[in-house]
């Protein structure tokens, strides 16, 4: 029996907050640059800058079957990475719409905006 319940391409910050509250298993992949990550980050995220993703793709092999939520500043870079990972055979990858900026505005105002 095949699993045809493909995930939507994007999730909202409130979806992500609910997943965290429930304790869902997933990888939050932050694809911003290191300086951005040091400025503001969502607790528990894994940094892998978009500029390095092709060279460092093997670091994600252990997560190939995992649910991955890709996040950046506003959602543009993370959408590109989401589509790239899907093209590399990652099936459970979603983009965080609005990125960390939206997260700061709607979910956790302690995360600095920049």
Q: What are the pLDDT digits (tens) for 56-75?
A: 999 999 999 999 999 999 99
Q: Is the pLDDT of residue 3 over 70?
A: no
Number of folded domains that form the chain = 1
Tokens of 48: 């892998």
Output the domain CATH number for residue 86: 3.40.250.10
Three-class secondary structure of residue 55 per DSSP: coil
Q: Is the pLDDT of residue 76 over 60?
A: yes
Active-site annotation holds for 72: yes
Residue 112, domain member (yes or no): no
Residue 97, domain member (yes or no): yes
Angle separating helix axes 13-22 and 99-106, nearest 10 degrees: 70
Q: Which of 28, 26, 80, 76 is nearest to 53 (CA)?
A: 80
Residue 111, domain member (yes or no): no
Three-class secondary structure of residue 68 per DSSP: strand
Question: Do the Cβ atoms of 53 and 31 come closer than 8 Å?
Answer: yes
State the catalytic residue, choosing from 72, 81, 96, 100.
72
Residue 94, domain member (yes or no): yes
Residue 4, domain member (yes or no): no
Provide the whole-model pTM. Answer: 0.94
Question: Do the Cβ atoms of 69 and 94 come closer than 8 Å?
Answer: yes
Parent domain of 30: 10-106
């Amino acid at each position: 029996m095949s699993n045809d319940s493909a995930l939507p391409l994007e999730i909202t910050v409130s979806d992500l907050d609910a997943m965290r509250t429930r304790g869902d298993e997933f990888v939050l992949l932050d694809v911003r640059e290191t300086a951005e990550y040091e400025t503001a980050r969502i607790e528990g995220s894994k940094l892998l800058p978009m500029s390095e993703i092709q060279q460092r793709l093997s670091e994600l092999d252990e997560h190939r079957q995992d649910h991955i939520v890709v996040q950046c500043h506003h959602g543009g870079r993370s959408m590109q990475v989401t589509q790239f990972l899907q093209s590399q055979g990652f099936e459970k990858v979603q983009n965080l719409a609005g990125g960390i900026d939206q997260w700061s505005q709607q979910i956790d105002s302690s995360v600095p905006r920049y």
